[in-house]
Chains A and B, each alone.
Chain A
Amino acid sequence: MQSFLENHPRLRHSLGRALWYLLTFVVAVAVNFFLPRLGDHSPVDTLIARAGESLDTRTAREQEEAYLKEFGLVEVDRAGKLVRAADGKPVETSLASQFARYLSLSLRGDLGTSILQYPKSVNEIIRAALPWTIALQLPAIVLGWLCGNLLGALAAYRRGFFDKGLYPLALLLSAIPAFCVGILLVFVFSIELEWFPAVGGYDDSRIVEFSWDFVSSAAHYYVLPFLSIFGITLGHQAIGMRSMCIYELGTDYIKYSKLLGIQESKILLYMFRNAMLPQLTGLALALGAMVGGALITEMIFSYPGLGMTILTAIQGNDYPLITGATLLITVTVLFANFTVDLLIGFLDPRVAHAERTKR
């Protein structure tokens, strides 16, 4: 086994990364569980405050106990009945066993019950929001990343117009915070020019279905949030790629290729390939920040995705929903990072080399 791994440096790299991401995942889940419990909120108090007004004391107490059971805050015996102390009050579960329950439930994909939209489950709410977020963010971030890298490489290589005109623009684009881009776009294109609607994901009067009518309405609402996420990603990536390419242009192999008289387009390709690898790592690392910025963009446009879900959850102190949504985001970002990490292990010969010489 030992020698097998030594002969397959790429496999060793992948296994090592997998182990590391597993550890990160456990820490992320723990952070997700313990941070919200630093404060002294109880979901049951919120529910009782809402339901309790119309109930008499006894029914209210029964209701409270039912909620306590549902959120796993009290001990339950095998028959599913509450364990009671000598004075008849239910016994509270320890934080450790609550964590164990949370862990086993989340691993099975059950994120709990929402407080604000009780008795809807968190899974249900997220399932409704997720397609909107994916449809908006995935194309915007990927396209922005690709175009940004191309523009950055051109700016570094051609200098002149690309560098003088586009670079300051990219700098400005990346300096404007995500939400400000959103607000400015809304101001210019939907209030002043009235070209696009300001808020929402589709026209409210239409039914959500797969018809030409609905899709064209959704596309109309799609333009502004897409542009805002696309623009920001493009700006950030162009700046990073420009300095990477300037670095590569100063290296010996480029100078040598130029002296040899190799075609310009070929040199450009060499440079692009070498400058791209760090940008790929950069994509992985920036993904968390990008998703965060994109979520805020969703909130500004009241886009019916995950960002809006988190916003309403925060406003209503809906803890299961907040942690459910943040857990999903964390896992997605971790998974994307892991994929890029593996990809780099295969694309970059230096990684395999480092693994081979490591002893």
Chain B
Amino acid sequence: MFASLFKSASFVTGLVLFGLTVLTAVVAPWVLHVDVGQRVGLAYMPPSAEHWLGTDHLGLDLVSLHIVGLRASLYVGLVSGVVATLVGTLIGVYSGYKGGFIDDLLNSLTNLFLVIPSLVVLILLSSSFEQGRSLTLIALIIGGTTWTWTARAVRAQASSLRGRDHVALARINGYGTFGILALHILPYLLSYLFMVFVLQTATGILTEASLSMLGLGPHDSVSLGRILDEAVKNEALVDGAWWAFLPATVLITVIAFSLYVINTAMEGVFNPRLRR
């Protein structure tokens, strides 16, 4: 099944694009001189041979800032993606399989958090952790608020698997709930879960950037969203200092776009209805 993915042109395009950003994040600190604490010039110096992306409002080297920011954004995406997928899958698969009262209860809980705008919860939560707002905490907060879509989707899938013969057989053979979930339901959802994870990672990266734009970003690290936040706050837009915000915008867009393309391509391969 996974082999047929690589025949899809859009999947490969997305994977190559995303792979390039990850590769940049991993390799760049080894190759280039990265220093985000040292002023190298005046404010908003345009790109030059020495500083490829110029300087920001403090005179810091923007190439260094982007590399550190890219690493931070990918980290947040990964952590929040794992957390959201894990929480959403556990809740979804359990309530979908169990049915009855537990299903009703968990379903109402999911719907509750689906209706209350997650940005509101994020704003309230992050503004109350003002001092200790580390990158990891932000990733955890994002993962803890964006799992609702996953839970809903996984629940629907699990409850349709519930009536299958092989699950009934496992039940007759004396498997407990967790044995059935782990051995007879989750393996069938694997490709679906991977798609969900890709989407949740994209959501995590975009959400971190949105939070940072609100001035609720991490205190211990630069991130792509914080570069944008600082640029907008310090009038880079009005000054026409495009090098201070355009590269970060393009980077975030490329990451999100590549992940979306990967997700859509996987849907096309895994869902026979969409095949032509």
> Which residues on A are within 8 Å of B, measured CB to CB?
20, 23-24, 27-28, 31-32, 35-39, 41, 171-172, 174-180, 183-184, 186-187, 191, 198-199, 243, 246-247, 250, 285, 288-289, 291-293, 295-296, 299-300, 310-311, 314-315, 317, 322-323, 326, 329-330, 333-334, 337
Contact = CB atoms under 8 A, between A and B. Distances in A.
Contact of A180 (B214, B242, B253, B260): B253
A76 B275 CA distance: 70
Contacts of B172: none
Given A175-B261, A180-B253, A288-B116, 17 more contacts: A28-B116, A37-B128, A39-B127, A39-B129, A171-B260, A172-B257, A183-B228, A187-B246, A191-B237, A243-B274, A246-B274, A292-B120, A299-B232, A314-B127, A322-B124, A329-B120, A330-B120
B80 to A, nearest CB: 15
Interface in B107-166: 108, 111-112, 114-121, 123-125, 127-130
A187 B213 contact: no
B273 A176 contact: no
A171 B264 contact: yes
A249 B256 CA distance: 30
B238 interface: yes
Contact of B213 (A250, A291, A296, A333): A296
B112 A183 contact: no
Contacts of B127: 36, 39, 314, 317, 322
A39 B123 CA distance: 13
Interface of B: 108, 111-112, 114-121, 123-125, 127-130, 206, 209-210, 213-216, 228, 232, 237-238, 240, 242, 245-246, 249, 252-253, 256-257, 260-261, 264, 273-274
A333 to B, nearest CB: 5
B118 A183 contact: no
Contacts of B108: 20
Given A176-B257, A198-B238, A311 B215 contact: yes
B238 A27 contact: no
A174 B260 contact: yes
A6 B236 CA distance: 63
A20 B206 CA distance: 31
Contacts, number: 141
A93 to B, nearest CB: 19
Contacts of A198: 237-238
Nearest to A319: B127
A186 B128 contact: no
Given A179-B209, A314-B215, A326 B120 contact: yes
Contacts of B111: 24
Contacts of A330: 116-117, 120
24 contacts: A20-B108, A24-B111, A32-B124, A38-B128, A175-B257, A177-B256, A178-B210, A179-B228, A183-B228, A187-B242, A187-B245, A191-B237, A250-B273, A288-B120, A292-B119, A292-B210, A296-B210, A296-B213, A299-B213, A299-B232, A300-B232, A310-B123, A333-B116, A337-B115
